[in-house]
Chain A
Amino acid sequence: MSPRLPFLVLVGLVGGSIVVGSAQGSRPTLVAAPRPVAGLTAPAVRPAAAGATWYCAGGTAQDGGLADHRVIVANPTDGEATGTLTVFPGRLELAGTTTEPAASDRTPTTEAFAVAARSRATFRLADMRSAPVAAALVELDRGGLAVEHQVVGANGGDVAPCASAAASSWHFAWGSTSRDAREVLVLFNPFASDIAVDASFATEAGVREPLGWQALIVPARGVVGIDVGQDVTRRDQVAATIRARGGGRLIVDRLQVFDGRAGRRGLSLSLGQPDPTEIALFPGGRVGAHTGERIVLYNPDDDPAEVEVHVQTPGTDRAPVQPFEMVVRPGRYEVLDYAAEDRLPRDVDHVTVVRSRNGVPVVAERVQNAGSQLSAAPGALFRASTWVFPAVQADGAQPPSFTVVNPDADHPARVSVDLYAEGRRIPRPELQQLDVPAGGRITVPVPMPLPAGAGSAAPAATAGSPGWRGASVVVRSDRAVVAARDGRGDGVVRAGGPGIPVGDHLDPPL
């Protein structure tokens, strides 16, 4: 018998097995790599992390400073957490004057701390170092903790999340250098190498790249606060992009001050946005006789962005508002002023969704004003089942409130709001098991100050912040929702910014 015949049979079997084998399984990863947490350059809490680092850039650390800088570390978990707080003093270039810290205060100082379970710790940086501008680095030995920072000045105060990661580029959609305004960008470089950064500013007069902002050196382990108005003078609207050269990374905060000379007053603190996104959600908002709202869209990309701004009024019988279609040119911004748009219902709570139609991401920011008070905040970039608000004031005339949006159009969500303070989870029965309809929203007022006996003894960790009383608020849901502070608050103007989401893997809000 010819040997070819059995061979051909064998070849057939082998070929078939190869085909079947190839069709059934794909080649596994030979060497598996842990995937970095994509998108978490925006602040987020990793509940199961072995550690966490938070960067709080903007603020001053001198008595009578522009924006007195405080850091609030909230520990809503059931275990004590330890960590270190390092204060980095820096120079401030304001109105053509450069102010350096004193020679004795030029080096960073580190302080170890512990935060008891279900507590929060507040640190005033001026108590640790005296500097015209100071940043804080918070290193924690475990996850599940959230860090915010707060600034208080003569024109008001604001609170914003600290950054949970550094980035090589930061974008701000809004800002103003008008006669009554002062926009200060605080650049924080906690790393071991100097960084050179370039900045560009988009104004109503076009894009500007001031010479002083090109190859600007941010020293290693240093902070620089620079008044944008020195180079971009008298502009009502300034969008900014700061990029580090050579893959360097840093953190940039914006301090926006209105001194009341033109009828506007307020102090706004905002963390920049590292990456533009295709979707942003602004949970709360209302346009009325004394309140105004503007959506500022900024496109730092090289392609024009086609953006739709949807304004929804869930829970009402009103007809859907026709979306606003806008084209944002590369490197430019567009402003949508709700007060000037007739199609928007007045005195009705609404939700705003910004969505890019052509895939070109944008940076969106909302500017709200109530009377003369004015503040700004970014939209929510994620949805999560747990949101943390570390710094909730307890001394307002009107209790702070929170807006929860359920982006799931098919299933309702059940939400509970808890307060944590001084080692306790403060029971609020009326805040438990709140239903949020599918695609709907609710506003939850949280009574403040704390009831008597909620915490008579201040934790040791808060010794550095006498007089500052308050609580952390945690919003939990059985579904992924978006939670934000309600900007119409308690008399002190606050932007309705989102809280800090909790989760290892977060999805866009829609």
Chain B
Amino acid sequence: MLVVHDPGDWFTVTLAALAAQDYPALRVLVVDAGSSASAGVSERVTAAMPDAVVHRLDGNPGFGAAANEVLDRPAIAAGVEYLLFCHDDVAPARRATQALVDAAQATGAGVVGPKLVSWDDPRRLRQFGCLVDKAGVAIPVVEPGELDQGQHDGLRAVCEVPGAFTLVHAGLFAAIGGFDEAIDRLGDDLSLCWRARLAGAPVVVTAAARVRHREVLAARLAPAERERLSSRHRLRVVLTSYRWWYLVRLLPQLALWSVATVALALVRLRPGHARAVVGAWWWNVCRPRSLWRARRHVGRFRRTSDREVRRLQVPGLVHPMVLLQRAGVGTGTRRRAVRDRLDAWCAGWTRGGAAVLLVLAGVLLMGSRHLLTRGVPGVGDFAPFGAPRDLVGQWFGTWRPTGLGVDAPAPTALGVFGGLGALLRGHDGLLRLACTVALIPVGVVGAVRLLRPTGSRWAPVAAAVAYAAVPVPYVALADGRWAPLAVYAAAPFLLGGLVRASGVAPFGSSSLMRDILHLAIVGGLLALAVPAAALVVLFLAVGLAVGCLLALDLRGALRVVLAGLGGTVAAAALQLPWAVDAARSWRVPGSWAAGLRAPVEVDAGGLLALGSGAVASAPWTWGLAAAAAVPMVVGRSWRASWAVRAWVLACGGWVTAAAAAGGWASGWGLGLPDPALALVCTGAALALAAGIGMAALEQDVVGRSRRLGFRRLVVVLGWVGLVAATVPVLRASLDGYWHLPRGDFGEVLAFVDHPPSGPPARILWLGDPAALPAPGWAFGSGPEAATADGATMGFAVTDGLPTLPARWPQRRGPVADRIDRAVQLALTQQTARLGGQLARSGIDYVVVPQRRAPSPVTAPEVPAPPGLIEALAGQLDLERVDVDPAVVVYRNLAPISACDRRGGPCYGGPASDRAGTGHRLLLVGQAVLWLGAVAAAIGLRRRAGAVRLPATAERSERAQRSEPGPAPPEPTLPEPAPSEPEPVAAGVDDRPSGANGGATTTRRTVRRRRSVKIKAKESEPPPEVVESVKVIR
């Protein structure tokens, strides 16, 4: 069946090739689809094949409709067994037709395709069948232009065969009604093959049939037109082929992806692509009757379920990966590596696990929806970042005009965020979003990665759910506290580095140096936000080391301590100017250890609930501990020992949090970290234990007994606990803000930030430390402090509304002491001229926040300490400015001298040039250290990749040595699917075969089994003797 439309000179070659076919019973029907007379189709056919029948159509209805002419021919009824549909731009080899028929008869395939090679260079492959994903996106088995060295030879079951030279069983063709005539060009082959599969007929390609293909259609259609046609026809195939139930599940995914594709196309300035995607939906929506008829028709011949069809398809949606490739993410080997990674990543999930993670992502997305769409209010630490130039300038200099002025190296974060802000062209909100809300999913991803080496496909899921249920980040978000959020994001990665450094199965690493570098880089990144990051690394290391000791693993403890110390020192070194300054002065402020802001108060009940507040609601959150207790009870072998390590770390976090909350160490003058930071570490440890519990369930409980014994009961209780722990998070997600106030004081206090003239006014913030928008200082240098009876009060100074530089605590200097004394005098009624005293420090306004956000935003009350408002109201030189009930503002009426103004001689100023030079040298050293650390990490990672298999073997061997029991599963080798796939048809074996054989399952075979790319099989027998086809799943 040769369909012809205005063929060119090459048509003579096509006719000659067809005439030369050695298939004895070949009869040729040529359908001239409206070719012009000048083409001379009839004459040229008659000249080459006198027996061929030429049927001329008045117009060109498209390939499918033209090919369907055969249905009206009496030859069908005359017992023709196979139909061969042929384009007018192909040149089949002499044995091609026979090879197709042989393949069809050998496999019982309904549709058989050839190996298409280049017209001009037959050594180059053009097509050899395609796989498709559930959206009908085709993934070619071979790379177009790939050198044909026989690497793909053989029979293969595919989802789609190229339509240029396709053999179809005549009965099947009649049964499925031929081609879908609604598809004129592009997509007809996909439709045919899909429907053949639904009718129960296999679709295969055979390399024995070799056909040169000129691909004229590509020249006849513009790329945009091709994209438009293929998109809408692909969607039609999907809409007409799936059953309703499957379609209901699939359509939202397709719609979502279409929206994302359109958005991305618009961002990339490719409106044609966006138009094609939208047009595909529109074209199909406008043809409901046609779709309905097509679906009814499919229903009549359907013999195979959608599930069976899907088994041969690529899992998931491949389009995102294709899009990444098209976007230029990786080329050549790197692209392949990216794809391989994606494949390996996908192989590590079960369908249920992926669903749980999707739901989890949905919950996090829903809980953050308003923050994502409306931005993060500037509450607490989440204040605007400020101008990038100022940030970089402050980082580069030794003098920061923040608050009362800081003559010390600036935090590295100023330089980093200043640079990022410049790259984002001042889109401050996006950066704040990434540094706040995005930290929660980062932490959850870290929890997933933490448990991947266990080999269990459910352990990472359990760890992710458990870690997502830890309430600390949500409480921190609601309070506007950055430090716990940052530690939450980093803790699983830090813990991952430490557990790998332990060298104990299944986490063991081959390179301690690599783990130290990992810890240093993660710790260094964490230190951008939390000065106490190095302490977090050390704390985790010590806790884990104690756990190793209790697990009778001295070597692991030593390695962990070594890694922790190394990581701590290196992380501190990555903050070079800062660290040098701290070491030089040895006066690290207590608030450094406590994080950015004053610690939250956590009562004893809140410790077990990992926090206090709406999200940390006992007893729901106690379920985390129940889930984490499972491996302690039911675990064996490495599950039990790692559960002990995790629990020791968790207990360490609890004890530290209790000590910090109770001020146990204050007697020795030690400033313990914010309890929330320790509770984050506890949460990470519990998530680790919960994940291990899932591995223990799979390996120590399932299959050992069928009765409902104690161990199963514990597992059930753990499950219930884990589910219960998520309830507060689910409840909090309904808010859309994670209980963060929905507004800030930016507009209310704009008049102090942008006065009519001059720089921003200097503000003295007074009140509860939790209400202060910047870390400040404690009152209490005088004897009056001792009389405090539970009331807490602090003060901070900012120039205008606080921005990023104000987030880091400043050293307390004489000016702060002066302010402290002045306010104390006012509080104790020893002065009625507070304004005059504050004027000596350049204070323009005194602000007392009493709520976290202005009216009418719902926000928690933070009442001012008793007597403060009254004391301010009793000052003769302060004038109250009524702006909002949530904040009390007083304007200082006392004159401020030019000396005390910002920039004045009394204000302070930068250090000497000599100090500035030293500082810049330190900055250069810091940059070198960062580059060196990253480069070394990459280098070690590549080396690790190069020796991956031996290392894996070594680990397995080590695991075997260390544990007499059942060997742990190979971390990166997912187990094969539990059930064997059913044969596609008689004589077709869909087990992994070829050079890998069906018995040996290695990582490579797994990857290849999942891959859309089929590698060469050097030892594969010639295609002539192949009796089975490889089914690619």
Contacts and interface: CB of A to CB of B under 8 A. Distances in A.
A37 B666 contact: no
A164 B829 contact: yes
Interface string A27-55: 11111111111101000001001111100
Given A7-B644, A10-B648, A247-B869, A192 B788 contact: no
A301 to B, nearest CB: 19
Task: Choose among B598, B601, B769, B829 the residue with the greatest number of A CB atoms under 10 Å from its CB.
Answer: B829
Task: Choose among B651, B769, B873, B877 the residue with the greatest number of A CB atoms under 10 Å from its CB.
Answer: B873
A193 B879 contact: yes
A18 interface: yes
Interface string B671-706: 000000000000000000000000000000000000
Given A37-B828, A165-B829, A247-B869, A30 B878 contact: no
A484 B832 CA distance: 28
A248 B870 CA distance: 9
B815 interface: no
A425 B551 CA distance: 81
Contacts of B551: 3
B651 A31 contact: no
B784 A34 contact: yes
B788 A21 contact: no
A467 interface: no
Contacts of B829: 36-37, 40, 46, 49, 52-53, 164-165
Contacts of A191: 873-876, 879
Nearest to B824: A34
B658 A21 contact: yes
A1 interface: yes
B827 A192 contact: no
A14 interface: yes
B867 A53 contact: no
Contact of B867 (A38, A168, A193): A38
Contact of B828 (A2, A25, A49, A249): A49
B599 A30 contact: yes
Contacts of B870: 36, 168, 249
A31 B769 contact: yes
A35 B867 contact: yes
Interface stretch (B255-263, B348-356, B775-783): B775-783
Given A49-B830, A249-B874, A31 B663 contact: no
A50 B659 contact: no
Interface residues of B, number: 67
A7 B649 CA distance: 11
Interface stretch (B89-97, B314-322, B791-799, B806-814): B791-799
Given A25-B662, A246-B882, A33 B788 contact: yes
A312 B827 CA distance: 39
Interface in B629-663: 632, 640-641, 644, 647-648, 651, 654-655, 658-659, 661-663
B787 interface: yes
Contact of B873 (A34, A137, A247): A247
A192 B664 CA distance: 46
Contacts of A14: 651, 654-655
A207 interface: no
B713 interface: no
B663 A32 contact: no
Contacts of A50: 825, 830-831
Given A4-B640, A10-B550, A36 B658 contact: no
B9 interface: no
Contact of B779 (A31, A40, A51, A168): A31
Contact of A22 (B658, B786, B828): B658
B882 A4 contact: no
Contacts of B877: 192
Interface string A1-20: 11110110011001001100
A165 B876 CA distance: 11
Interface string A131-173: 0000001010001000000000000000000001110100000
Contacts of B785: 32-34
Nearest to A18: B658
A1 B644 CA distance: 13
Contacts of A18: 604, 654-655, 658
A378 interface: no
A34 B782 contact: yes
B903 interface: no
B365 interface: no
B790 interface: yes
Contacts of B985: none
Contacts of A32: 778-780, 785-786, 788, 792-793
A76 interface: no
B788 A35 contact: yes
A345 interface: no
Interface in A390-444: none
A283 B662 CA distance: 48
B786 A139 contact: no
Nearest to B792: A31
A36 B866 contact: yes
Contacts of B991: none
B417 to A, nearest CB: 28
B171 interface: no
A25 to B, nearest CB: 6
A453 B825 CA distance: 41
Interface string B843-876: 0000000000000000000000111111101111
A145 B792 CA distance: 32
B346 interface: no
B89 to A, nearest CB: 72
Given A34-B787, A34-B788, A190 B644 contact: no
A52 B231 CA distance: 84
Contacts of A21: 658-659, 662, 664
A36 B778 contact: no
B893 interface: yes
A115 B703 CA distance: 96
Given A22-B658, A30-B598, A11 B651 contact: yes
Nearest to B871: A36
Given A1-B552, A21-B662, A36 B869 contact: no
Contacts of A164: 829
A40 B871 CA distance: 12
Contacts of A249: 870, 873-874
A34 B779 CA distance: 7
A192 B893 CA distance: 8
A210 B486 CA distance: 61
Nearest to B768: A31
A138 to B, nearest CB: 10
Contacts of B662: 21-22, 25-27
A17 B655 contact: yes
B779 A36 contact: no
A247 to B, nearest CB: 6
B214 interface: no
A33 B791 contact: yes
Nearest to B547: A7
B654 A36 contact: no
A33 B792 CA distance: 6
B789 interface: yes
B840 to A, nearest CB: 15
Nearest to B794: A31
B1008 interface: no
Given A49-B830, A192-B879, 7 more contacts: A3-B551, A10-B648, A25-B662, A27-B661, A28-B666, A31-B779, A51-B831
Closest 6 CB pairs of A and B: A36-B867, A33-B793, A34-B784, A32-B780, A192-B879, A32-B785
11 contacts: A1-B552, A26-B662, A29-B790, A31-B598, A31-B793, A33-B788, A34-B782, A35-B788, A143-B830, A168-B873, A193-B880
Interface of B: 546, 550-552, 598-599, 601, 604, 632, 640-641, 644, 647-648, 651, 654-655, 658-659, 661-664, 666, 769, 778-780, 782, 784-794, 823-825, 827-833, 865-871, 873-880, 882, 893
